Structure 1
């Protein structure tokens, strides 16, 4: 039995029902849009965020249909952001397949992302789930701010630890936090409980993003070489930030010059990757990832023991042990 099987065991039936429920929330009568939506549905991921919603709901109250609306709202938002991100990043691949913008060009991809986001907002409005709408809207605001801040910093390369954590908290962690908060909101009107789940989700989301940062410096693929994609995109993430913070001013200027001017040079990118590995950047990032993971788990362990709580703890562990 895999880690995901263990995690999904307490919500196996709910996840199966969710697949059909979600399809009804995203479909359109417009033939071209329906074609694109069906393409998206065939390429869906692990449904990690719905898992956070359902497990959070189960440890905070009596599971009900509102949890399906909550999970659909999150998955619609997540799907919309992925479509938009591929346009912003000029990426032509998503989960090993062509991205929407690669197949149908940027203009249509932006409109498809807008449509999916609108379906999520309308789902909440039509069902008078105003607390859900507030949580989703905050997440959209945070993710937009995080993306814009990262774009600005990738041009100026003037990033420090505080700015790094602000970027990943807004850009990545906010959606996982919202998943956990909206799960609690689907079964409880206690704002303190909802906010507690949000804050736990922030720690989980930070750990999730640091894990992604580490991936970029680890060997992968047929040739066994790290991708170095973050450096190629002039993104200074935690492993490189640690090296910069522990370098002389002269070294720091040289490294930043190479990130700024040589980020398309494969050999130079590999040199920087090697430098990060040699200087302990991955070890430091791993320590920080584990700190946020452990803090989240410690707070979850304050809840009464149950299969759902144990599965949620296992899901938090999975965030930091996943292979991709």
Structure 2
């Protein structure tokens, strides 16, 4: 499956199917990101929110709620909540990573400053909690607040693990489950909860979101070494330059000889990077089959996501979510 054929269609089909709901969610986002006293808040938020993101996470909430037969309005609040949490984490991430590009545009911290980005991110977290409380569901509040804590925990763990050659695949999995998969699984789980779905279905929806998020992040990490700037919305090789020990590098380090390990120690742990180092890193990833092995991991997670939907009633939305798992990993084909 290539991006030019079936891989594009799940997102397009999902977006078309949910267009009315997403229009209402976007209106809700715009209304709730307004600040009466601090105009910089909507300025910064709009810069990121209106940057052309696919709104995948809120669409997952809308899709799972409707797939489970929900006919109310609270799924709109939850979809907006999920997008606010995601946007807040992006603002914080760009400050931590000292990034200068997001979704192909200059980051908020570059256009304004780090303090503004952090504080606006905090504001969006607060707004997200206001939205989730309005559903009146303590269980929804528990799921989304726990996900918010897990996201922060994953980011802190990454600070200590990302530049340490002793980092294992198990630690990497814990990091990306926090920074990415936690919000995916919360987004899909709350859709089932708000719809009053059977507990077994709610668990399956959580598993689907978790596995989809894991596949999504592994693919993102692969694309940093083999994608294009247009595809990933940032500069190719940014993870290398930021000394992030992602899955392909972890796999290559595990098979490295002494000379190769010394190279990785210099460029990742010590941050002593020179002309030609990225190209050498790519050659080592190729030598040890690290990219192919990481791709296999992403494919396995996508298969887990699809299998989790087997007990969900067969509908057009279920088919779209199954195809979405294929779409996520098709980006590396």
Identify whether the pair has TM-score above 0.5, normalized to the shorter chain.
yes
> Which moved further from structure 2: 66-75 or 132-141?
132-141
The 1:264/1:135 distance shift into structure 2, 3 A limit, reads: same
The structure-2 alpha-carbon separation of the partners of 1:227 and 1:36, relative to structure 1 and needing over 3 Å to count, comes to closer
1:310 matched to 2:326? The reply is no
User: Which segments of structure 1 move beyond 6 Å, counting only runs of 4 or more?
Assistant: none
What 5-or-longer segments of structure 2 have no aligned partner? none
Tell me which residue corresponds to 2:89: 81
CA contact (8 A) 2:266 2:273 kept: no
CA contact (8 A) 1:25 1:72 kept: no
Bigger shift: residues 242-251 or 284-293: 242-251
**8 Å CA contact 2:74, 2:135 repeated in 1:** no
Counterparts of 1:67-216 in structure 2 under 5 Å?
Answer: 67-188=75-196, 190-216=198-224
More displaced, 63-72 or 3-12? 3-12
Aligned residue-pair number: 321
- Once the two structures are TM-superposed, the CA of residue 322 in structure 1 deviates from its matched residue by 3.5
CA distance 1:314–1:7, change in 2 (3 Å): farther
Q: CA distance change for structure 1 residues 36 and 230 in 2, over 3 Å: closer, same or farther? A: closer
Using the alignment, how far apart are the partners of 1:262 and 1:269 within structure 2?
12
Distance 2:141 2:302 in 1: 28
Give unpaired runs (5+ residues) of structure 1.
Answer: none
Corresponding residue of 2:301: 292
Query: Residues 163 and 268 of structure 2 are in contact (CA less than 8 Å); yes or no, is this contact kept in structure 1?
Result: no
Residues 262, 269 of structure 1: 8 Å contact kept: no
Query: Which residue matches 1:233?
Result: 242
1:14 is displaced (CA, Å) by: 1.6
Deviations 1:149-181 (A, max 9, x none): 111013433211111111111111111111111
Q: Which residue of 2 aligns with 1:6?
A: 13
**Partners of 1:33 and 1:146 in 2: CA distance:** 26
Structure 1 vs Structure 2 CA RMSD: 2.3
8 Å contact 1:217–1:227 — kept in the other structure? yes
Indicate how the Cα distance of structure 1 residues 26 and 305 shifts in structure 2: closer, same or farther if over 3 A, else same: same
1:263–1:269 CA contact under 8 A, matched in 2: no
